[in-house]
Amino acid sequence: MISFALLDWVWLISFTLLMVIFGMYFYRLGKRSESDFFLAGRGLPWWLPASSVYATHTATDTPIWIAGVVYKYGFAGLWYAFFSAWCAVSAFVSTKIFRRSLAYSQAEWQSLRFSGLGSEMLRGWVAGWQVFMNMFILGWVGIAMGKLCGLLFGWDLWLGLVLFTSIGAIYVLMSGYWGVVMADFQQGVIAFFIIVIVSIWGVVAAGGPDGIISKLKTYNSTCEWKVPAEIADQSRASIRIVDPETCKIYAQSPAPFVIQQHRDEEFFKWTEDRTLKLVTDVIPQRSQNVEILFPGVGDTLLAGYGYNVIWTAGKTGKRVNIDFSLDEGQTWANIDVNHFDGQSWRINPFSFSGFSKGRFPVAWFVTMMIIALIGGFGMGTSFDWYTEAQRIQSAKTVRDASYSIWAGTALVLIRNSIWAAAILGFFVIYPHLGRGTDYEMGWYIVGFKYLPIGMVGFLFAGILAIHLSTVSTQLNLGAMYATRDFYHHYVNPQASEKKLIRVGRISTFIILIGSFIFGTIIGEEITQWLIFALWIMAAGVWLPNILQVIWWRFNSWGFLSAWIANLGLSWLVVWILPRFGIIPELPDYIQFWILMVLNALIYLPVTFLTKPGNMDHLVKYYVMSRPIGFWGPVRKEAIKRGLLNPIE
């Protein structure tokens, strides 16, 4: 556990009070109207929603995730977080279209874009999905804070979850979105400074930029290996390193090592500490002969634990196959495709494991770039769209909305690069960690280990700023869908502004309580299931999310059928068919393309077999939003009705 000095408490309490009181200060503006409580009256200059985009997308679990991918893949791991680049295109396309529509939420936009029963069904579905997802995300980030407090202070999980999310709820309940966006600005500034400071300390601790680069050049090669949990007790295993093209064996274990079944944290830690020296030991005269340093003769590995296979760096920059055998070399199973020549590949952002092989192939990178950049033409192609949509509508003009989305995302990408520098420093200090749960805490460890007294309290205040900015947004966003799209639209369309704000506050409170329940029951299985749910949303509905923006003929039934078909097809492609051996377990980027094509085979016929949307409704939407793409017949009709100037 971490012990706080008096100075640490002074900074923590000062920053916390500043953030909460500032959020509460806007109480009088927040209670004026529904538009104020959820969109700050649509009057914000671009830099306020921009700082909110950046602050919201910096949560307590974000440095854990970035540390995980950068520790594993070096600077190339930053591409995992590059999906936010969709905003670079969206800022000039879907952001403008959405802002012009004046919809409060994405659910409301569905009913402006589509017409009839299908549009109402879509609005209800999107709103319900969003209320649920905001509750889930709150539980998720809340329990991450609970775990962090458990590690730092030895608290029970629920205490960190309930205490710090409730602090955020105080100003959200009072001031609504006004409090959220103003506190986000302040929290964004505090968080940005602490991220820069911890990263500087991390780089200095590792020997500075030159020190990091020179150490990476001398370190031996490593390859993460999670020993399969089902391997029988006392199995004798060997490792080999092979050229995948020529099948030339570069190195092989001189004698088998042992794999044991029982759990023994102490023993695991002892083995892991021993491997640090094997990674960092400089081998004075490197020869063509590569030697496996770990696991070696006399080593015992525990099944289900993560280790690093270590070998002396080869001279060529090839990728090699790392294989293991349990039957004295008669059959081999692949562990990974990995870099052969030490660790210097980690500073190359394009160090892929091959075109389609390994854990980091070019094909994955190309798919991700397409998803991100083309996705900017649509609405909802990334899950972040829903928070961004609220910020877009709160900007005072269409131009402000564009600037805010572009600048907020630029800040997110800059932040990731700063984090990556600290994590590379962390790798240089601890290059032997094989368990994700260990190295994912890298950024926090750098901060709590190396910052001077007083700065530790400031670091925790920064972590609290990160946490509050995320939970405040999700609380207000979830409440907006519940109030605007359920209560105001279906239950009481004539409700007064006062009543709507009261319902907004009640919804905020219900979502808060729901998140506590979610946070305490959330387990690995639920998380995996929901990540899968988010992924299938990206895979099968990605193209329909673009089509609804750029193609007039795409109707609500086509969009609804895409959602429904996607639910079934994704289960088939991801779980059921591989389980029965009908298709192999495919990498996620291949699943994406398969689901996209299969889904299109359903929603395109449904679209053409059902009537186009009502022309009056489409003309109204077109004149208001001015979408780009294939809108010829609607545009012609709008000109015919004198609603649009032909030269515009």
Partner 1 sequence: MFSIALTATRIGSPILGVIIPVIILGLSIVLTLMLIRHFIKR
CA diameter of the chain: 86
- Residue positions counted in the chain: 648
Pick from 298, 285, 305: nearest CA to 228: 305
Task: Say how many residues touch partner 1, by CB under 8 A.
Answer: 44
**Which residue type sits at 291?**
E
Report in angstroms how near the CB of residue 203 gets to partner 1 at its nearest.
Answer: 11
Among 13, 102, 193, 214, binds partner 1 (CB under 8 A): 193
Query: Which residue lies nearer to partner 1 by CB, 197 or 249?
Result: 197
Among 120, 281, 438, 497, binds partner 1 (CB under 8 A): 438
Q: What is 627-644 written as a DSSP string?
A: --SB-HHHHHHHHHTTSS
Structure tokens at 41: 């009256």
Q: How far is CA 321 from CA 192, 284, 291, 340, 534, in A?
A: 40, 25, 15, 9, 32
Report in angstroms how near the CB of residue 269 gets to partner 1 at its nearest.
Answer: 9
* Interface with partner 1, residue 601, by CB under 8 A: no
Report in angstroms how near the CB of residue 457 gets to partner 1 at its nearest.
Answer: 8
Crossing angle of helices 157-205 and 497-521, in 10° steps, is: 80
Neighbouring C-beta atoms of residue 269, cutoff 10 Å: 11
Report in angstroms how near the CB of residue 14 gets to partner 1 at its nearest.
Answer: 6
Candidates 12-20, 85-93, 228-236, 496-504 — which segment interacts with partner 1 by CB under 8 A? 12-20
Structure tokens at 620: 């109204």
CA 229, chain centre distance (Å): 28
Report in angstroms how near the CB of residue 483 gets to partner 1 at its nearest.
Answer: 24
| Three-class secondary structure of residue 418 per DSSP | helix
Q: How far is CA 557 from CA 499, 603, 614, in A?
A: 34, 8, 13
Report in angstroms how near the CB of residue 448 gets to partner 1 at its nearest.
Answer: 4
As a whole number of angstroms, the distance between CA 84 and CA 539 comes to 16
CA angle 293, 294, 300 (to 5 degrees): 145
Candidates 52-60, 221-229, 437-445, 558-566 — which segment interacts with partner 1 by CB under 8 A? 437-445
Query: Which residue lies nearer to partner 1 by CB, 192 or 589?
Result: 192
* Interface with partner 1, residue 276, by CB under 8 A: no
Among 67, 122, 144, 182, binds partner 1 (CB under 8 A): 182
As a whole number of angstroms, the distance between CA 365 and CA 239 comes to 29
DSSP summary character for residue 44: B
Helix runs in 572-645, H state only: 577-579, 588-609, 615-625, 632-640
**Which residue type sits at 189?**
V
Pick from 432, 68, 426: nearest CA to 272: 432
Among 80, 104, 171, 185, binds partner 1 (CB under 8 A): 185
Query: Which residue lies nearer to partner 1 by CB, 445 or 560?
Result: 445
Candidates 201-209, 383-391, 527-535, 542-550 — which segment interacts with partner 1 by CB under 8 A? 201-209
Pick from 43, 36, 56, 38: nearest CA to 405: 56
Among 46, 54, 98, 201, binds partner 1 (CB under 8 A): 201
Candidates 370-378, 435-443, 493-501, 547-555 — which segment interacts with partner 1 by CB under 8 A? 435-443
Candidates 349-357, 399-407, 413-421, 439-447 — which segment interacts with partner 1 by CB under 8 A? 439-447
Query: Which residue lies nearer to partner 1 by CB, 11 or 294?
Result: 11
Among 197, 258, 418, 510, binds partner 1 (CB under 8 A): 197
Query: Which residue lies nearer to partner 1 by CB, 40 or 389?
Result: 40
Strands 300-302 and 257-260: parallel
Query: Which residue lies nearer to partner 1 by CB, 15 or 79?
Result: 15
Candidates 75-83, 428-436, 555-563, 568-576 — which segment interacts with partner 1 by CB under 8 A? 428-436
Residues from 35 through 54 that contact partner 1 (CB under 8 A) = 43
Query: Which residue lies nearer to partner 1 by CB, 85 or 461?
Result: 461
Pick from 540, 643, 550, 553: nearest CA to 607: 553
Residues from 203 through 262 that contact partner 1 (CB under 8 A) = 204-205
Neighbouring C-beta atoms of residue 555, cutoff 10 Å: 27
φ and ψ at 554, to 5 degrees? -70, 120
Query: Which residue lies nearer to partner 1 by CB, 451 or 573?
Result: 451
Report in angstroms how near the CB of residue 100 gets to partner 1 at its nearest.
Answer: 23
Structure tokens at 454: 């007083």
CA angle 66, 67, 70 (to 5 degrees): 80
> Quick one: which H or E segment has residue 260?
strand 257-260
Strands 257-260 and 235-242: antiparallel
Query: Which residue lies nearer to partner 1 by CB, 226 or 626?
Result: 226
Among 20, 67, 161, 190, binds partner 1 (CB under 8 A): 190
Among 294, 430, 563, 589, binds partner 1 (CB under 8 A): 430
Report in angstroms how near the CB of residue 436 gets to partner 1 at its nearest.
Answer: 11
Residues from 449 through 508 that contact partner 1 (CB under 8 A) = 449-458, 461
- Stretch 142-161: interaction string toward partner 1, x if CB under 8 A: ---------xx---------
Query: Which residue lies nearer to partner 1 by CB, 25 or 267?
Result: 25
Query: Which residue lies nearer to partner 1 by CB, 445 or 573?
Result: 445
Query: Which residue lies nearer to partner 1 by CB, 29 or 541?
Result: 29
Query: Which residue lies nearer to partner 1 by CB, 147 or 505?
Result: 147
Report in angstroms how near the CB of residue 452 gets to partner 1 at its nearest.
Answer: 5
As a whole number of angstroms, the distance between CA 38 and CA 179 comes to 10
Q: Are 225 and 321 in contact (CB under 8 A)?
A: no
Task: For tokens 């986000």, name the residue.
Answer: 184
Residues from 441 through 460 that contact partner 1 (CB under 8 A) = 441, 444-445, 448-458
As a whole number of angstroms, the distance between CA 153 and CA 304 comes to 29
* Interface with partner 1, residue 14, by CB under 8 A: yes
* Interface with partner 1, residue 22, by CB under 8 A: yes
Candidates 55-63, 97-105, 200-208, 344-352 — which segment interacts with partner 1 by CB under 8 A? 200-208
Computed on alpha carbons and rounded to an integer, the radius of gyration of the chain in Å comes to: 27
**% helix, strand, coil for the chain, step of 5:** 65, 10, 25
Query: Which residue lies nearer to partner 1 by CB, 342 or 442?
Result: 442
Chain residues binding partner 1 by CB under 8 A are 1-2, 7, 11, 14-15, 18, 22, 25-26, 29, 43, 151-152, 182, 185-186, 189-190, 193, 197, 201, 204-205, 430, 433, 435, 437-438, 441, 444-445, 448-458, 461
